[in-house]
Structure 1
Amino acid sequence: MLSDLNLDDTDISILGLMRMGLSDAAIARRLQVGHRTIQRRVQQLMAKLSVPNRFALGARAQQLGLLGPFVPDSNRPTLLEKTL
């Protein structure tokens, strides 16, 4: 089934960056592509994985094993650190 999804390395990168909580604009900067490119790719990913929104996209990607274990980005403060 995974091979039927036709996901490339960029798709997996986008999913991973989304899981880290990055916005489309931040993902675009990281991948050095346009903001609209990321928006379009996210829409395509939602269609490929048959989900209605970004949250469901991340959950489905994790369920399918498309993403490894979550390791927080040490350069980004956690929610708890933001509130302290």
Structure 2
Amino acid sequence: MSEAAHDLHAEQRRTGMWRNRFLALLDRTPVPTAICHLDGTIGVANPAFAEALAVRPSQLRDRHVLEFFQAKVRRDYDKLVAGLQRGGRARLVIAVQFPGGTGELTVQAVSDDDGSGLLLTLRITPVPADVQLSDREAEILRLIAGGATSAAVAAELGITGDGVNYHLTRMSDRFGVPNRTALVARAYSLGLLDPTAWPPR
């Protein structure tokens, strides 16, 4: 083996060793983290990232990040894409909704020997304890979000219309909103309703 080939082989071994160490560290970090291609296709995600999305890490590979996240402000996502197309390397924090929650997705372009990619980290917004829902409240909210009237909800759940209105009033008071329309909007913003699902759940 020539000296150049030997040096190349040694460098490849060192690169592989550092890549394996990085992946082991990624798996152990509690911060939800993923690495994507520039087009948004997920290459690797750690268990914390997968857990936030209620899937296994292997189920994220080769899926597009926008299958799971919706930018709360669409122009933020458009700004990110435009910046990357211009070769930008800026770090951008985007408010997002995802099944089961809301949070901030930090997106940063990174480069290595294989080219450029995106490093994603997710900060999940905790749901305040005073807006946790009982099973009954969650059922009522889901049906109301789907457009059901109080009478229709009462018939579906086998309770009275006054019972439905009682629950809606209590939830509105806890969420600090004036009516059921605002209640539904607040529930989506807190991640209590899945923004990607119809009918609501």
TM-score surpassing 0.5?
A: yes
Q: Alignment RMSD, CA only? A: 1.6
C-alpha deviation, 1:71, in angstroms: 1.1
Amino acid at match of 1:72: P
Structure 1 stretches of at least 4 aligned residues deviating more than 6 Å after TM superposition? none
Distance between the aligned counterparts of 2:198 and 2:138, measured in 1? 15
Amino acid at match of 1:33: I
| Count of aligned residue pairs for this structure pair | 73
Note if contact 2:130-2:174 (Cα within 8 Å) is conserved in structure 1: no
The one of 177, 184, 191 equivalent to 1:51 is 177
Return the TM-score normalized by structure 2.
0.34
User: How far does the alpha carbon of each residue in 1:20-72 deviate from its partner, in whole angstroms, 9 at most, with x for none?
Assistant: 10000000011111110001111111001100111100000000000123313
2:145 is equivalent to residue 19 of structure 1 = yes
2:167 is equivalent to residue 41 of structure 1 = yes
Amino acid at match of 1:36: D
Distance between the aligned counterparts of 1:6 and 1:70, measured in 2? 20
Structure richer in helix, relative to its length? 1
Match of 1:3 in 2: 129
Distance between the aligned counterparts of 1:50 and 1:60, measured in 2? 9
Distance between the aligned counterparts of 1:20 and 1:49, measured in 2? 19
Amino acid at match of 2:156: R
What residue ranges of structure 1 are gaps of 5+ in the alignment? 74-84
Q: Indicate the structure whose relative CO is greater, using CA pairs within 8 Å and at least 6 residues apart.
A: 1
Distance between the aligned counterparts of 1:6 and 1:64, measured in 2? 10
Distance between the aligned counterparts of 2:192 and 2:132, measured in 1? 12
Distance between the aligned counterparts of 1:20 and 1:6, measured in 2? 20
- For residues 59-78 of structure 1, the aligned pairs below 5 Å read 59-68=185-194, 69-72=196-199
What residue ranges of structure 2 are gaps of 5+ in the alignment? 1-126
Match of 1:80 in 2: none
Distance between the aligned counterparts of 2:130 and 2:165, measured in 1? 22
C-alpha deviation, 1:6, in angstroms: 4.0
